[in-house]
Structure 1
Amino acid sequence: MRTPDLYNDTHQTRSAPPTAFESLLGDAIERAYAQGIHDLDGLVAYLNRSGPSAPNGQDWTPENYQELMARLGA
């Protein structure tokens, strides 16, 4: 009997569904990538133009973007 190929469903590793903010941010990041923006400074500039704002309504900076990604990925 053949064992089915194993894979990891994207949401299988989450402890909870994404928040509305996480969904908006993910959509914005996908749009930036689709436009060919792949560097951190370009991504931060795109987010500041298109939204969503950083937590607490702040502008995005490379530092707060990286801190948030590290926290969300933990």
Structure 2
Amino acid sequence: MRTPDLYNETHQSRTAPPTSYEGLLGDSIERAYAQGIHDLEGLVKYLNDAGPSGPNGQRWTEQSFQQEMARLGA
């Protein structure tokens, strides 16, 4: 018996569709990567310039970005 090929489903670990905020944040991170920004400091600067704002409308910091990514990934 042949074992089926394994593959990942898009959003396979999600329990709900992304929120508008998650979509905006993901799009902004993708745009930063497309511009060659791959370091945390540069990404935080990009998010502060381009948006969306950090949690509670605050400016992003390296710490708040890491905390938000941990929260969203939980």
TM range (shorter): over 0.9
Aligned-pair CA distance for 1:20:
0.2
For residue 7 of structure 2, what is the amino acid of its counterpart? Y
Aligned-pair CA distance for 1:6:
1.2
Aligned-pair CA distance for 1:41:
0.3
For residue 49 of structure 1, what is the amino acid of its counterpart? D
- Answer yes or no: is 1:49 the counterpart of 2:52: no
Q: What do you get for the CA RMSD once the two structures are aligned?
A: 1.0
Report the Cα distance in structure 2 between the residues aligned to 1:36 and 1:65, rounded to whole angstroms: 18
Report the Cα distance in structure 2 between the residues aligned to 1:73 and 1:10, rounded to whole angstroms: 15
Structure-to-structure mapping, 1:16-31, within 5 angstroms: 16-31=16-31
Aligned-pair CA distance for 1:2:
3.6
TM-score (norm 2): 0.94
Per-residue CA deviation, residues 2-56 of structure 1 (Å, 9 max, x unaligned), is 4331112121110111000000000000000000000000000000000000011
Aligned length in residues: 74
**Structure ranking higher in helix proportion:** 1
TM-score (norm 1): 0.94
Question: Percent of pairs identical after alignment?
Answer: 74
